[in-house]
Structure 1
Amino acid sequence: MITTVERRYNLDEYRAIEEKAEGRSEYRDGEIVPMPGGSLNHSRISGNTFAFLKFIMRDTQFEPINNDLRLWIPDYRRGLYPDVMVFEGEPQLNGDRRDEVLNPILIVEVLSPSTASYDRESKFRMYRSIKSFREYLLIEQDELFVERYSKQTQGWLLSEFNNLERSISLESVEIELPIAEIYRGVVFE
């Protein structure tokens, strides 16, 4: 009988590997999990969403950041790369780390077939442990469909959108996000 031993990494080892890596990986409490490659639709949607938010939020107290920055979730010992995060005021860094933040108020994930369940369930549960976190957008890349979760006194309220002529009211940042801007240039097969 052959026994395989799964390699566990401490946080410093993961960070050292991530700094030199060509691709990105998430840290899951000792496990390093490579992130899947994107698609043209995924890139367009995340880019469109980031660009619109960046433009509309200029000269405000809100700042959107793209997926180059890692979100650290202390309660779960996880380092994740959301497609877009928005911060109110200055992003709070994780100690002396310049590549890890702690306090987004809005998180946007573009759903991939291989990660959609994880984004909706486990990842959303982890995000909810962040005290500042108030709003979550899940955007389908293969069809026109957006889910918006907003934090309420009694829990999280789900709203669904599937019409290019509508806008999504993002309460956490006090703006309207036109669905047509999210899906600009996106072609569904």
Structure 2
Amino acid sequence: MATQAPVKTISPEEYLAQEELATERHEYIKGEVRLMSGGTPKHNDLSGNLFVAFKLALKKQPYKVYHVDQRLWIPSQQIFTYPDVMVASKPLVMQEGRKDTILNACLVAEVLSPSTKNYDRSEKFQYYRSISGFQEYLLIEQEQIFVEHYVKVEAKKWSLTEYTEIEDVIKLESIDCEIALADVYEDIEQ
């Protein structure tokens, strides 16, 4: 019976030093570094459409919206990740000693890919839920019009609403805005 070689782990500081020089993005999960898979044009279009919709809806509001390349640190889980779209309350809370890593995401959206959808729905959602101010999570399907919208209703209790029609409008509770699925799926072939 073959034994697996132990996974090499590194410290958060080592990861950050490597990431500053990297040409690709990596997640850091409890000491393990994982290359993030590249997105398809459809994945990029969906996350870009959502980013633009949030930017317009939250103009002059006390929030910052980020797309793809903004790192998030989840200290209680020892996780660094790059959400597809992230909304954080102003003022931003940054990782101590860093100007490139946010701590206070209140909303995260992930565009689902075949290789990551199970992770996004399970462990990753669990990691995000450990962020104290995290209130909403959107999971967006690429191959059909389908958005799962989770809203925190109280400690350890989340509500799920599913959107399946192009005419649907997502009412975001924590940031008090609405996003039309027509805007999210604009120019996306189904």
TM-score range, shorter chain: over 0.9
Q: 1:3 to 1:39 in 2, by over 3 A?
A: closer
Q: In 1, Cα distance between the equivalents of 2:76 and 2:185? A: 34
- Deviation per CA, 1:34-71: give whole Å up to 9, x if none: 00010111000000000111122111112211121111
Q: In 1, Cα distance between the equivalents of 2:3 and 2:158? A: 47
Q: In 1, Cα distance between the equivalents of 2:163 and 2:6? A: 45
Name the residue aligned to 2:178.
Answer: 176
Counterpart residue identity of residue 160, structure 2: L
Q: 1:153 to 1:2 in 2, by over 3 A?
A: closer
Counterpart residue identity of residue 80, structure 2: G
Is the aligned partner of 1:114 residue 2:123?
no
Residue 27 of structure 2 contacts residue 80 of structure 2 at CA under 8 Å; is this kept in 1? yes
Is the aligned partner of 1:23 residue 2:28?
no
SS, match of residue 76 in structure 1: coil
Q: In 2, Cα distance between the equivalents of 1:38 and 1:3? A: 30
Residue 57 of structure 2 contacts residue 178 of structure 2 at CA under 8 Å; is this kept in 1? no
Aligned-pair identity in percent equals 41
Q: In 1, Cα distance between the equivalents of 2:69 and 2:171? A: 26
Unaligned runs of 5+ in 2: none
Counterpart residue identity of residue 141, structure 2: E
Q: In 2, Cα distance between the equivalents of 1:44 and 1:175? A: 21
Q: In 2, Cα distance between the equivalents of 1:119 and 1:4? A: 26
CA displacement at 1:3 relative to structure 2: 7.2
Q: In 2, Cα distance between the equivalents of 1:3 and 1:109? A: 31
Cα RMSD between the aligned structures? 1.4
- Deviation per CA, 1:12-39: give whole Å up to 9, x if none: 1111111111110000111100000101
CA displacement at 1:2 relative to structure 2: 8.3
TM-score (norm 1): 0.95
Name the residue aligned to 2:100.
Answer: 99
- Deviation per CA, 1:100-146: give whole Å up to 9, x if none: 11111111111011000100110111111101000000000111100
Q: In 1, Cα distance between the equivalents of 2:162 and 2:110? A: 15
Counterpart residue identity of residue 57, structure 2: I
Runs of 4 or more off by more than 6 Å in structure 1?
none
Counterpart residue identity of residue 77, structure 1: Q
- Deviation per CA, 1:128-187: give whole Å up to 9, x if none: 110100000000011110000000026000000010011000011111100010001111
Residues 25-104 of structure 1: pairs in structure 2 closer than 5 A: 25-104=26-105
